Structure 1
Amino acid sequence: MSPAWTTTAWGRRLHTLWHAVLPVGTVLSVLIGAWYLGAVALNAPGAIERVLGGPEGGWSWQDLVRTTWAMQRPVLPAPHQIAIDLWHSLLDWPADSPRSLLMHTATTAEATLLGFVLGTLLGLLLAIGIVHAPTLEKAVMPWIVASQTVPVLAIAPIVLVVLGSLGLTGTLPKAVISMYLCFFPVTVAMVQGLRAPQTIEKELLYTYAANRMQTLWMLRLPSALPYLFPALRVAIAAGLVGAIVAELPTGAQAGLGARLLTSSYYGNTVQIWSALVMSAVLGVVLTAAVSLLERVALRQRQPVR
């Protein structure tokens, strides 16, 4: 039997919220606990040899746990170490400082968004061409699929060198790598979506003498929206990976990839994990933005009559 407070409107909302938060909180608590245990296990050899004076140092297990959770260069940082580094990296430096994680995040986000826009446009154009030209599908679709079998780590240096020789530096080369990973899910999903309208719907527009452009705008594109937005969520996450990977072989001075590379040079594992956490946060924010755009677009979508 449900508690009495759940009979009110606010009570029902709190009850629903509690049941939504409880599973997530439970899993998160288990993961954090396992993380702390993993930090003890992985950092213990170094802590014993370098800090506690070896196996005969006269230390207790409490000393070992405290040491493994406070090492400057741990194998696996404890969660609170990452949280502290994030706090200092975000708030203790000006937003335009090379030491500010916010500046690196903004740099990567800029390349990701530009690549996402370019990849989406390329995917839409390819899908429209494939749907309206069966010959183009046979000629292009195999190459589109084959392009995704090439590892981005292999193609990124080639693209960056070629674009650099043409005088294209900065954000654009990274955006091109991001676009390379973005366009494929959009193309595949939109080909399916543009073909989603039923025959009776296409014949209705045919009776009104609608041309291909009118059919595309009034029927095919609205019908393809439910296919498009899931692909966009995949594309923007892939684009973020592409932007970070593109920052690695260039020796970039800014960006989350540059932060990862610099931290690895100096063995600063705490900063490496901070950059990884910030990458995950950026990915969640960008995906949530696409989901919000999806809600707005599908809410205003008008069915074809």
Structure 2
Amino acid sequence: MTRRELDAAGITDPALRTAYARCRLLNARHGRTYFLATRLLPADRRPAVHALYGFARWADDIVDDTGAEATTAERAAALDRLEEELRRALTGPVPSTAHPVAAALADTAARYAIDPAHFTDFMASMRSDLTVTDYATYADLRAYMHGSAAVIGLQMLPVLGTVTARALAAPHAAALGVAFQLTNFLRDVGEDLDRGRIYLPADLLAAHGVHRDLLLWSRRTGRPDARITAALRAAEDLTRGVYREAAPGLEMLDPVARPCIRTAYVLYRNILDAIARSGYTVLHRRAVVSRRRRAAVAADGLARVAAARLGTAAHRTSWGPSRPDARSAKEAG
């Protein structure tokens, strides 16, 4: 499968092929929902998505390294090295000593003309995770999520392609990145608390009488609290509102890319459904979408892929062929 994707994308350099394969492995191991949805993309676009995911995962792993030897200063130094490696790779030519993930990311950024500012903003948010452990307001959290989530949607947009001007689709792509991250924050409240972080905004929690000590007590004892349940339900409502912001953007995407993003949209919203069905017990156990449900959504996605490809073969959209910006990925490079 990896070879077919790389061949379809026109990636022939052996070192680059190895680099992209490394990113694909990271995606398959750590991003189950994301990886499942990515498989619904045309084969030639999948390596780029794997590269974007691989880079985000690399940075995230540095930030979340809680090993005994990983002090805040050491993690900051590791981010410095990553940022310098990224700078060298993006300004090219890519050094032969570059980390495989950086090499794949630089190649993807060049092929799809991705704005380097998106990577700069992403690194700024990753750096803030070293010292910031909570957010006073939702506005504060949205500022953080611009770099940690919204720019992921913006990075993806050139790869996916659009049938409208990209600027019209961009706000919805950014909102979808935020919706996915808010879903993860709600699902991972307990795990994040173990790392000393609370991503749910303090003003939302306080409106229901919830504070850090109460969350820690519930996490430690395994006992529920009606105030926590009410706050988590409010966070769910907030997240569903962001999905509504994102929804109009689905029809703006290239038809052959829509099934991928729609599948991710449905699966991530299903995580919210699982959280609600569990009684908002995310402080004590992780909510998961059943394999049966995941398979059903994937099957629907495959049917949509087949229909979209038949339609695209019969009639190209008014904004050109299915590749981004009416150019092939190779031309974009």
Q: TM-score by structure 2 length? A: 0.29
Which of the pair is proportionally richer in helix? 1
Larger Rg: 1
Q: TM-score by structure 1 length? A: 0.31
